[in-house]
Structure 1
Amino acid sequence: MAFHVPDGWESYFRQIKMCYEALIRERVIQGISPTTLGAWYNNFKTAEEKYFAAHLLDSFIFRSEPMLVAACRQIITKTLPQILTGLGCNFGSISDFLSAVQTNDHDKKIIFVPVTSTVPGKSSDAIIRLFKRANSIPDSKTKYPEDIPLLGEDLKYVVFIDDMCGTGRQFSKFYSKYQLASLANERKIEFIYIPFMAHLKGLKKLQRDCPNLHVHPLETLDIQHNFFHSVEGDVEPKLWFKDKVNTVDDVKNFYKSILKNYGIETITPFGDGKLGLTIYTCLSSPNNSLNIFYTDKSPKWVPLLAR
């Protein structure tokens, strides 16, 4: 049976739309206007498309700037001090630690580094700028990865700040490109990677590929975050967890038909690594997430987000 709408879908459609309009109006969600939401919703024409759109929006996770600022502050006040304590670093009190990282001096015991990338939708400079601003970190305490070998022997801790670790391939290549394993062994530098979010698939890859790397995401994602995942159990065919009516295969085929009908070209319709995520931030649209929210490459389609 092809993708179909269950009875009562109109009520669900209206409920989700009204909910998000209220969240935007009350500024719980920032960076998206009611007009933009309405224009994106109007992309969907048929009953099946509108029903599908409601499920997309119901699964949509958006990290606004205030949320990212809170995450940045969590890194400095909680996550990083706990990591350093586990590594045997005695930095005194939290106040002493904050004073050390916020002081504009030549002490390079600890530095913060962006995860630079050429991947579209990823803005490493914007992420590190936000991190610095949120925590009053001076320029002297941030460096680019190519600067690491040039820094003095007093360097002990390098902290990489990132928004998302999906499949782990990007950071694995980054780790290899800058020969971080060699630096860790030769210079006895501790490399710490703190992404705001990381998928289990990526964490497992980094565990294999990146020796001497301490990975501590603020939030861990798994198969439950895949928009297309199935109801648990051995029942065949696999039913879509969202409505338990349509099969996963029918949902995927319907999604691909939407992309085709509206001229949305992509070689990764289900996101890079087929992770099927619906997670975005005000600074980036991860390539592991569905591009139906942000694509601007079709004249037939109005995006909800800017990439």
Structure 2
Amino acid sequence: MTYIEIQENLKSKIKVLNETLWDNRALNPSIEKWLVNFSTEKEKLHALYLLSKFMYFGAVPMRNLLKSLYRDFYRYPLIESIRKSNGNTLDSDLIENKFKEEEKKTRFLGVGNLSESGAHLLYFFRQENKLSKEMFVYTDEILDRSNADPQVRFPEVKHYVFIDDFCGSGSQATNDEIINQCVVKLKKLSADIQISYLMLFATSKGVKTVKDSGLYDNVEAVIELDDTYKCFDINSRIFPQKDNFYFEKDFAKEFCYRLGRPLFYSINQKAGLIGHILEQVSDDAALGWGNCQLLLGFFHNTPDNTLPIIWYDEEDIDWVPIFKRYNKKYNF
């Protein structure tokens, strides 16, 4: 098969993906502009191949996943607990009444501040699962800090559930100062409180990091991505053996790292990193934050754990994204 034939096959596949799954987010003119980022025909061919493997989740699939998260990791476990506490009853009226009582003792929280995607999805989560807006609070509302010794603001609440769209490295769930202090204080104030961290998507590493932290009583992800989803892993599903004749994993990794490192370096600089830490973190993030090496995007944003060559859209470096990321701004 010639180079032109391979390229046309990839573009045909991408066209189908764009029309059926990607909400027309990657039309051919946008793809051609994105390909200008790459300097050689071989790089462009491999970039097209990577794009053909991109996983995109639009608004409808995300809403369905939010239903699954509520049903499988909140409602069903509570119902199972209610049944066991009542002699394994099958009385549907009793079960539903007890469940409603527990639901009133629950508060759902987003991850990060109001401008971030975890909090953004709570609106859809509430709609899809027909929940009262009274069940949603901000992290800084949980504790009453009006006195020197903070107390629980909602003493009737037994379940606090953090909702996140994506967990890559697990760092936000475990290192965020506001979340960490809140969870630790809640557990000190009441041994009966159950705290969950529920995610739509997560890497296996991220899930393990959050579980190992011991901060949460329940940690679950609707879709867990193991190391085979990493582009350049030894067992990568992006580069299976049958494709090696045309597409070289080591070549793709080299140019994705070479081009991706300065992109993330510029972001890390704006985040305030300097010196050795700046260099080290940029090395690690060149193929996506936490070295996740993903090809994943959502209708509301693209995680920075995805290859930066896919999403970078900052003023510092002239780069055209194909699935842009709305990155955080660190100053006014």
Please report the TM-score for the alignment, with normalisation by the length of structure 2.
0.74
1:257 is displaced (CA, Å) by: 3.5
Identity of aligned residues (%): 21
- Are 2:40 and 1:46 equivalent residues in the alignment? yes
CA–CA distance in structure 2, aligned partners of residues 177 and 260 of structure 1: 30
Cα 1:292/1:169, change in 2 over 3 Å:
same
Tell me, yes or no, if structure 1 residue 79 matches structure 2 residue 73. yes
- Give the conservation status (yes or no) of the 8 Å contact 2:256–2:307: no
Counterpart Cα distance in 2 of 1:166 and 1:202: 5
Secondary structure of the equivalent of 1:218? strand
Q: CA deviation at 1:142?
A: 0.4
1:263-278 paired onto structure 2 within 5 Å: 265=266, 267=282, 268-278=285-295
Distance in 2, Cα, partners of 1:11 & 1:263: 34
From 15, 18, 29, give the equivalent of 1:21: 15
Q: Equivalent residue for 1:279?
A: 296
Indicate how the Cα distance of structure 1 residues 263 and 160 shifts in structure 2: closer, same or farther if over 3 A, else same: closer
Residue 104 of structure 1 corresponds to none
1:221 to 222, 225, 245: 225
Match of 1:165 in 2: 167
Q: Select 2:182's aligned residue among 179, 182, 201.
A: 179
Q: How far 1:271 sits from its partner (Å)?
A: 1.1
| Aligned counterparts, 1:1-307, within 5 A | 8-26=2-20, 28-30=21-23, 32-34=25-27, 35-44=29-38, 46-85=40-79, 87-88=81-82, 93=92, 96=96, 100=100, 108-117=104-113, 122-149=116-143, 150-174=152-176, 177-187=180-190, 188-231=192-235, 241=240, 243-244=243-244, 248-259=249-260, 265=266, 267=282, 268-297=285-314, 300-306=318-324, 307=326
**Matching residue's letter, 2:54:** F
SS at match of 1:285: coil
Q: Count the aligned residue pairs.
A: 287
Q: CA 1:181 to 1:74, structure 2 compared with 1: closer, same or farther past 3 Å?
A: same
Q: Tell me the C-alpha RMSD between the 2 structures.
A: 3.5
Question: Are 2:260 and 2:308, in contact at CA under 8 Å, matched by a contact in 1?
Answer: no
Structure 1: gaps spanning 5 or more residues: 1-6, 102-106, 233-239
- Amino acid in structure 2 at the alignment position of 1:139: K
Relative to 1, partners in 2 of residues 1:263 and 1:70: Cα closer, same or farther, differing over 3 Å? Answer: closer
Deviates more, 1:175-184 or 1:125-134: 175-184
Q: CA deviation at 1:261?
A: 9.4
Shift in alpha-carbon separation, 1:135–1:252, aligned structure 2, 3 A: same
Alpha-carbon displacement from aligned partner over 1:153-204 (angstroms, at most 9, x marks no partner): 2201111111111111110023763331442353211111110011111111
Unaligned runs of 5+ in 2: 144-151, 268-281, 327-332
Q: How far apart are 1:205 and its partner, in Å?
A: 1.2
1:262–1:300 CA contact under 8 A, matched in 2: no
SS in 1 for 2:224: strand
Aligned letter for 1:255? C
Structure with higher RCO (Cα < 8 A, 6+ apart): 1
